């Protein structure tokens, strides 16, 4: 997996944190802002940030269709927080631009506003204990089709995989734990 | 165990705002325009800085009704300002559930010596700074995000540029000092020693640093990003301009594509009137907002 070219969608949000984590894992990360740059990568991370901001920029600069096309060719995608919202096929109660790739329904700010943001221990299926940092975090209301739940927090779904798509409601890039980044590199 | 209000989740929200534009709004309608244009957060205010400057008098925390109506209108984070040192205004804003508090020099200071002890709060704070010492004093008090002060409500970017250059110069300076010289550097900067050590090790501030105070055009936003800011606050620059929706969208694009002059040129076309600017040297010393804060 060393040197794998992983793009991080760098329109808005915490993309540098993912870049640093991937570098520690031995990958070769790069920031992606244009459709052409999507051609040069083997996997894509959609980082935390504001899903409305990222969604609008993605659409305005022609990245949304290109991301879907690259995924159809087999490119893996991992979305954290805002990224998870953008991957979902359904967003509860809110109309916004999204990629609509994953068989999940998400609830934006499901855990509340910033004063409710929290850190906790999580049990991730197949990976063991992990630190979960949740910031104005969404959760997954339901999954269907091939989507498989990998982690819960208090009976809420917070991590899902569906083939080459991975979604986390929390932020492994804000912790020292590289296990989920390594897992994504193995998927790529 | 579930922990709320930790420094990690406070600083973490600022990390999620990076590369984005935070816009001053005074009504739910403006908040919706900002969200629609791609703002990553809004700052709920009673008056924008240019109007505060024009009308004079004492500027205070906004009426809670304004803040709550703006919180109901949008799904993006909502920030609000309290006066420097006014910890009760901060308590009120926290109880309303705002996502960030700006302890701001734009409002009239409530204390001429002390800032709010921001560690007492679960809600995170952003504070203004003109230099590294000021930034580190605020971080030591608990601020989880810093912004340049600039000179608010002027539409003149020169002070924001001065402040980011000053902070960056001082970071470069202490990053190159041998460790035995850092105590004296802390003394000169009037900054807490432990944080000076951390900055020297990181060669960067330990929290996110946005630009604020005088940004009026897409080019201003990209300039501040190229100078190393993590994101942009626009106060009066949007809703005091001829076409707020279009200008807001253009500033968002210029903040993302700050290294791409072709994109910035494209979004800068036909934007209409920018806000009327003010030359800094025509401002009376007592009207300089950046000198508030200790």
Among residues B81, B118, B149, B249, the one annotated as catalytic is B81
Average the pLDDT over A54-74 and give the result: 97
Closest CA to B150 of B290, B293, B294, B291: B290
Q: Is B3 on the interface with A (CB under 8 A)?
A: yes
Distances (CA, A) of B47 to A22, B27, B60, B238: 44, 10, 10, 13
Please give the pLDDT value at position B276: 86
pLDDT of residue A1: 46
Tell me if A4 sits within 8 A of A188, measured CB to CB: yes
pTM tops 0.90, yes or no: yes
Which residues of chain B lie closer than 8 angstroms to A57, CB-CB?
38, 252-253, 256
Structure-derived torsion over alpha carbons of residues A110, A116, A119, A121, reported in degrees to the nearest 10:
-60
The low-confidence residues of chain B, meaning pLDDT below 50, are none
Nearest to B1 among A12, A113, A120 (CB): A120
Q: Do A82 and B41 touch (CB under 8 A)?
A: no
- The string over B64-88, giving b where at least 16 C-beta atoms fall within 10 Å of a residue's C-beta and e elsewhere, is eebbbebbebbbbbbbbbbbbbbbe
3-state secondary structure of B209: strand
- Dist CA B203 CA A144 (whole Å): 47
Which pLDDT score, from 0 to 100, does residue A188 have? 83
B224 touches chain A (CB under 8 A): no
Q: Angle at which helices B261-268 and B244-256 pack, to 10 degrees?
A: 180
Query: What is the per-residue pLDDT across A9-62, written as a single tens digit (0 to 9) for each?
Result: 999 999 999 999 999 999 999 999 999 999 999 999 999 999 999 999 999 999
- Which of A104, A151, A147 lies closest to A127, judged by CA? A151
What's the CA gap between B135 and B284, in Å, rounded? 25
Chain A residues inside the 8 Å CB shell of B218: none
Residues of B in contact with A133 (CB under 8 A): 8-9, 12
Q: What pLDDT is attached to residue A2? A: 58
Residues 6+ apart with CB under 8 A from A51: A82, A83, A85, A86, A96, A98, A108
Contact A180, A168 (CB under 8 A): yes
User: CB of A121 within 8 A of CB of A133?
Assistant: no
ipTM: 0.97
* B45-95 per-position pLDDT tens digit: 999 999 999 998 899 999 999 999 999 999 999 999 999 999 999 999 999
Instruction: Assess A29–B contact: CB distance below 8 Å, yes or no.
Output: no
Quick one: what percent of chain A has pLDDT higher than 70?
99
Radius of gyration in angstroms for the set of CA atoms belonging to chain A, rounded to a whole number: 15
Q: Indicate the CATH number of A5-187 among 3.40.50.12780, 2.30.22.10, 3.40.50.880, 1.10.3720.10.
A: 3.40.50.880
Q: Which residues of A touch B19 (CB under 8 A)?
A: 10-13, 15, 49
Q: Is A19 on the interface with B (CB under 8 A)?
A: no
């Amino acid at each position: 997996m060393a040197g794998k070219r992983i793009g991080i969608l760098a329109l808005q949000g915490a993309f540098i944190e993912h870049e640093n984590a991937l570098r520690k894992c031995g990958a070769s990360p790069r920031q992606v802002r244009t459709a052409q740059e999507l051609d040069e990568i083997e996997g894509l991370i959609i980082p935390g940030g504001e899903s409305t901001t990222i969604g609008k920029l993605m659409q305005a600069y022609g990245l949304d269709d290109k991301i879907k096309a690259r995924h159809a060719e087999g490119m893996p995608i991992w979305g954290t927080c805002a990224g998870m919202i953008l991957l979902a096929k359904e967003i509860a109660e809110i109309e916004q631009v999204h990629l609509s790739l994953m068989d999940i329904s998400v609830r934006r700010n499901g855990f509340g506003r910033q004063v409710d943001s929290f850190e906790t221990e999580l049990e991730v299926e197949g990976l063991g204990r992990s630190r979960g940092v949740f910031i104005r975090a969404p959760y997954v209301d339901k999954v269907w089709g091939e989507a498989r739940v990998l982690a819960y927090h208090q009976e809420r779904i917070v991590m899902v995989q569906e083939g080459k798509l991975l979604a986390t409601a929390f932020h492994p890039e804000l912790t020292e734990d590289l296990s989920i980044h390594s897992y994504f590199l193995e998927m790529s | 165990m579930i922990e709320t209000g930790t420094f990690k989740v406070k600083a973490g929200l600022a990390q999620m705002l990076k590369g984005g534009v935070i816009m001053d709004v005074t009504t739910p309608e403006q908040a919706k325009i900002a969200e629609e244009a791609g703002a990553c957060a809004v700052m709920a205010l009673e008056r924008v800085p240019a109007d505060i400057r024009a009308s004079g008098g004492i500027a205070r925390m906004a009426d809670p009704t304004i803040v709550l109506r703006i919180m109901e209108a949008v799904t993006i984070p909502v920030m609000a300002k309290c006066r420097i040192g006014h910890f009760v205004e901060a308590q009120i804003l926290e109880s309303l559930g705002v996502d960030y508090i700006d302890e701001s020099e734009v409002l009239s200071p409530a204390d001429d010596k002390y800032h709010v002890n921001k560690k007492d709060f679960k809600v995170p704070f952003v504070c203004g700074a003109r230099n590294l010492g000021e930034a580190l004093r605020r971080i030591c008090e608990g601020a989880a995000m810093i912004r340049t002060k600039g000179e608010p409500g002027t539409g003149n970017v020169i002070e924001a540029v001065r402040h980011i250059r000053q902070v960056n110069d001082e970071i470069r300076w202490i990053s190159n000092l041998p460790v035995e010289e850092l105590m004296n550097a802390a003394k000169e900067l009037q900054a807490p020693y432990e944080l000076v050590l951390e900055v020297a090790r990181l060669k960067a501030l330990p929290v996110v640093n946005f630009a604020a105070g005088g940004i009026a055009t897409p080019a201003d936003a990209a300039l501040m990003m190229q100078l190393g800011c993590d994101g942009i606050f626009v106060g009066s620059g949007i809703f005091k301009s001829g076409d707020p929706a279009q200008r807001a969208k253009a500033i968002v694009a210029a903040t993302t594509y700050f290294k791409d002059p072709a994109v910035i040129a494209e979004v800068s076309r036909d934007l209409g009137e920018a806000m009327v600017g003010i030359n800094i040297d025509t401002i009376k010393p007592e009207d300089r907002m950046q000198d508030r804060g200790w």
